[in-house]
Structure 1
Amino acid sequence: MEGLANQLKRGISRQFSTGSLRRSFSRQFSRQSSLDPRRNNLRFSFGRQSSLDPIRRSPLHGHDELSVPENLDATMHLLFLACRGDVKGVEDLLNEGIDVNSIDLDGRTALHIAACEGHVEVVKLLLSRRANIDARDRWGSTACADAKYYGNVEVYNILKARGAKAPKTTRKTPMTVANPREIPEYELNPLELQVRKSDGITKGMFQVAKWNGTKVAVKILEKDRSADPESINAFKHELTLLEKVRHPNVIQFVGAVTQNLPMMIVAEYHSKGDLASYLLKKGRLSPSKVLRFGLDIARCMDRSFVIRGINYLHECKPDPIIHCDLKPKNILLDNGGLLKVAGFGLIRVSNISPDKAKLAPGTLIDHSNVYMAPEIYNDEIFDRSVDAYSFGVILYEMLEGLQPFHPKTPEEAVKLMCLEKKRPPFKIKVRSYPPDLKELIDECWHSEPVVRPTFSEIITRLDKVCCNCSKQGWWKDTFKLPWYGSLALNL
């Protein structure tokens, strides 16, 4: 009895109608551990579980004779009484104002529970109070499906007479698992996503949506592309990388929909848009902002943050992640003005060795991408230095306010840089920026990959530029930044 009471006290509900769910900002994009089907040992198990619950938790015996534990959450109290078949108790709670459609962490209502247990009178009472007959739990099961599964014919007929429909088997996706226990931890319920039109997100990539009240960016794989092997492989590749990457300067992966159509990837939303739009609006940036933005980008590529317990991108083990498409459109601004790198996995590569790769067969090359390294443009074997090349071009654009060789077309600029090995001139005055910064750019976009610095070296050199400028009195207020001290400690 005491053990059950403790379990019930831990059962935190999501009673949206009374606003009982409160989450701090830091947890908005994290999956709640209580929603992980592998961690349900502390959750209260009702006598019979959802018909689609992949984990068959053992029914509790003798629960009809148990008294209600003290300090029980209102929603769990309602579900507990529905499980016992206590019609009077359920009625009293509803009369007190408890929402008849309150749900627990599994998305289950009192109607789900009563249908599982076959409590006809409780079901009738809940229906008289306008219980949602089509409410689905986290696995997609309805009260009607639960009643049918457990052979509660009378309850099933009552629900059917009210218009309830047992969920039809949905069309299988290419990532459908055979065993429900194998459903990925990141899997989201598509019914929790409210997709809206694109707003501040690059069209054709992500759409704005709301997930449990929080704005997110959703990338949708159209249903007609779910049968295309290339599209599916690209989707899986991007999903694998996003799931793997966790870093303050990398766009945060929220979850994905892989067991239902359409399949979706969900990431954090940034209302400030991308760096490309920012540069188009602002033009040339001050050298101080270039340094700060440059460090934001470089930090997510560098292994110095392995000290914090994470291996990212170029230092991921056993296989480093080469972005291959680092450009302003794939760099987002957060509300604090910091940059976050996105767009991983958009270009598929074939690994030749742990440090070498080549574009996957059939991959189309964008000949207007001025940030693309010559090795990729010429479809040659490349390494992680292609990202350093892109980084150099981005630094140049932030300093100059224009793309290389403007006003020539991007296609012409790419040919000059990748085929003729030419580099654009610096038009701003040399005294307007530290000479070391120009030297770094020249090395980053060097035609020979071996000359290009690693991102660990890039951070060290950018940090050195910051120190020198501070000592010499350049940009007095530039380097009084919250991350500066912690950055120095990690180098």
Structure 2
Amino acid sequence: MYLSNEGDIEGIKELLDSGIDANYRDIDDRTALHVASCQGLKDVVELLLEWEAEVDPKDRWGSTPLADAIFYKNIDVIKILETHGAKHPMAPMHVEAALEVPEYEINPDELDFTQSREISNGTYCVAMWRGIQVAVKKLDDEVLSDENQVRRFHDELALLQRLRHPNIVQFLGAVTQSNPMMIVTEYLPRGDLRELLKRKGHLKPATAVRYALDIARGMSYLHEIKGDPIIHRDLEPSNILRDDTGHLKVADFAVSKLVTVKEDKPLTFLDTSCRYIAPEVFTSDEYDTKADVFSFALIVQEMIEGRIPFAEKEDSEASEAYACKERPFFKAPSKHYPHGLKSLIEECWLDKPAKRPTFRAIIKRLESILHHMGHKRQWRIKPLTCFQKFEHKKKHNWDVSSPDGSSSGSHL
């Protein structure tokens, strides 16, 4: 045990050659493999396994070499033990009593991944569950030792359980009592808004306004939900999905947080796409739901312009530009912006968060814009319809008064 702790390869070989059992246990039922796994000594681990050391022995506390390696974040040792068939410890959210198992718990055996494929840049994959396609987000075994990843998984799950709205992706259940842990949501086969914008470029004004309304309604629900309001913090086109009816749903709450919860660790560029993030999220310890309003403005402008905000800049440069009070230019022809939409966008990305409108106010403005567009369209159609009716009536009178098709000045 001492030699394993010290990483003395030659000394260990000597003992093993002399007949010492590779599975020798001390008073706490710990083996040399436990010790080497704790210390991250991969050469010792490989040697012990070559001498047929048991890969999953449990000490008096129920811990295995793999569990120890995971706890001490010894990645190389984890990989070696996994290669030799070591089983992962219980999921971090595992409960012992059957009555404590959450209602949302899904039996992993019910999930069929035989024809699975990745979606959302690999964050989710498609699987079959009880005869329907679902989207599954896995917390892979290799990140179980990352406390931040496990905490985020737990936080995202806690948020999803509370959400029920037509413009929010529907949570179906989760796997938390075994590894890998998983979150299961509805699958929307029409893809995300990012894919649509890449394919079509700019959208028709009426479509853009209707989509903006869908997003605003979903976000208003998050911001006004009973209990603690929720800040999304990663509102961008790839996190907005399209359903079969052509409506949009807000998705991906991996970095979302409750307004009342103080953050242990600030959001970083690695956590999210900073191109759509309000400047105060990166520059201030305190921010509120108005950060999502800023992101919303950029998305609405992109739907009309057909290009990402500050397309000529890198993500980090775009973030710096926002902090310097720069905003993307309006390059599309004015006729592409329905009356009132451009001014709404400008209000939504104001530098001072307190001056930005709430999503409830945004919904009213968008409904008014959409109504005005419909009224304007009717005004354009009616004169044309009247003219067509007049022409039809004139032709009819002409045919009645001149059966042979000849014309007469008196008929005019």
Fold conserved between structures, TM > 0.5:
yes
Q: How many angstroms does 1:197 deviate by?
A: 6.4
Q: Do the aligned residues in 1 keep the contact of 2:167 with 2:215 (CA within 8 Å)?
A: yes
Q: Secondary structure at the match of 1:301?
A: helix
Match of 2:376 among 446, 457, 472: 472
Unpaired stretches in structure 1, ≥5 consecutive residues: 1-168, 303-311, 478-491
Unpaired stretches in structure 2, ≥5 consecutive residues: 1-86, 382-412
Over aligned residues, Cα RMSD in angstroms? 2.2
Whole-angstrom distance in 2 between the partners of 1:475 and 1:241: 46
Q: Do the aligned residues in 2 keep the contact of 1:254 with 1:266 (CA within 8 Å)?
A: yes
* 1:429-479 CA distance string (max 9 Å, x none): 1123223000000011111101111010000000010111222227989xx
Query: Which structure has the highest helix share of the two?
Result: 2
1:252 aligns with 2:170: yes
Counterpart residue identity of residue 122, structure 2? G
Whole-angstrom distance in 2 between the partners of 1:299 and 1:265: 24
The within-5 A match list for 1:180-191 is 180-191=98-109
Question: 1:396 is matched with which residue?
Answer: 301
Counterpart residue identity of residue 239, structure 2? N
* 1:333-357 CA distance string (max 9 Å, x none): 112221111011x116475xx4xx6
Question: 1:452 is matched with which residue?
Answer: 356
Change (3 A) 1:297 1:198: farther
1:194 aligns with 2:112: yes
Change (3 A) 1:364 1:409: closer
Change (3 A) 1:321 1:188: same
Match of 1:284 among 202, 216, 219: 202
Please report the TM-score for the alignment, with normalisation by the length of structure 1. 0.57
Q: Do the aligned residues in 2 keep the contact of 1:348 with 1:359 (CA within 8 Å)?
A: no
Question: 2:337 is matched with which residue?
Answer: 433
Q: Highest CA radius of gyration, 1 or 2?
A: 2
* 1:56-81 CA distance string (max 9 Å, x none): xxxxxxxxxxxxxxxxxxxxxxxxxx
Whole-angstrom distance in 2 between the partners of 1:360 and 1:204: 27
Q: What fraction of aligned residue pairs are identical, expressed as a percent?
A: 44
Question: 1:322 is matched with which residue?
Answer: 231
Change (3 A) 1:456 1:350: closer
Question: 1:347 is matched with which residue?
Answer: 255
Question: 1:118 is matched with which residue?
Answer: none
Q: Secondary structure at the match of 2:288?
A: coil
Question: 1:240 is matched with which residue?
Answer: 158
* 1:296-330 CA distance string (max 9 Å, x none): 1111122xxxxxxxxx3111222101111111010
Counterpart residue identity of residue 279, structure 1? L
Counterpart residue identity of residue 347, structure 1? V
Q: Do the aligned residues in 2 keep the contact of 1:358 with 1:379 (CA within 8 Å)?
A: no
Whole-angstrom distance in 1 between the partners of 2:370 and 2:230: 28
Q: Do the aligned residues in 2 keep the contact of 1:215 with 1:269 (CA within 8 Å)?
A: yes
Q: Do the aligned residues in 1 keep the contact of 2:117 with 2:125 (CA within 8 Å)?
A: yes
Counterpart residue identity of residue 255, structure 2? I
* 1:117-136 CA distance string (max 9 Å, x none): xxxxxxxxxxxxxxxxxxxx
Q: How many angstroms does 1:358 deviate by?
A: 5.6
The within-5 A match list for 1:370-381 is 370-381=275-286
* Regions of 4+ moved over 6 Å: 474-477
Question: 1:336 is matched with which residue?
Answer: 245
Q: How many angstroms does 1:377 deviate by?
A: 2.3
Q: Do the aligned residues in 1 keep the contact of 2:293 with 2:358 (CA within 8 Å)?
A: yes
Q: Secondary structure at the match of 1:473?
A: helix
Whole-angstrom distance in 1 between the partners of 2:133 and 2:255: 27
Q: Secondary structure at the match of 2:231?
A: coil
Whole-angstrom distance in 1 between the partners of 2:229 and 2:238: 22
Match of 2:346 among 442, 467, 471: 442
Whole-angstrom distance in 2 between the partners of 1:238 and 1:476: 49
Change (3 A) 1:234 1:459: same
* 1:272-293 CA distance string (max 9 Å, x none): 1111111011101111010110
Change (3 A) 1:186 1:200: same
Q: Secondary structure at the match of 2:210?
A: helix
1:415 aligns with 2:315: no
Q: Secondary structure at the match of 2:219?
A: coil
Q: How many angstroms does 1:198 deviate by?
A: 5.8
Whole-angstrom distance in 1 between the partners of 2:172 and 2:242: 17
Counterpart residue identity of residue 134, structure 2? V
Question: 1:67 is matched with which residue?
Answer: none
Q: Secondary structure at the match of 1:174?
A: coil
Counterpart residue identity of residue 461, structure 1? R
Q: Secondary structure at the match of 1:195?
A: strand
Q: Do the aligned residues in 1 keep the contact of 2:266 with 2:285 (CA within 8 Å)?
A: no
Match of 1:267 among 185, 189, 207: 185
Q: How many angstroms does 1:364 deviate by?
A: 2.5
Q: Secondary structure at the match of 1:218?
A: strand
Q: How many angstroms does 1:408 deviate by?
A: 2.7
* 1:76-106 CA distance string (max 9 Å, x none): xxxxxxxxxxxxxxxxxxxxxxxxxxxxxxx
Change (3 A) 1:270 1:381: same
Counterpart residue identity of residue 201, structure 1? I
Q: Secondary structure at the match of 1:194?
A: strand
1:361 aligns with 2:234: no
Whole-angstrom distance in 2 between the partners of 1:196 and 1:402: 37
Whole-angstrom distance in 2 between the partners of 1:348 and 1:471: 39
Question: 1:175 is matched with which residue?
Answer: 93
Whole-angstrom distance in 1 between the partners of 2:380 and 2:107: 50
1:386 aligns with 2:291: yes
Whole-angstrom distance in 2 between the partners of 1:264 and 1:424: 38
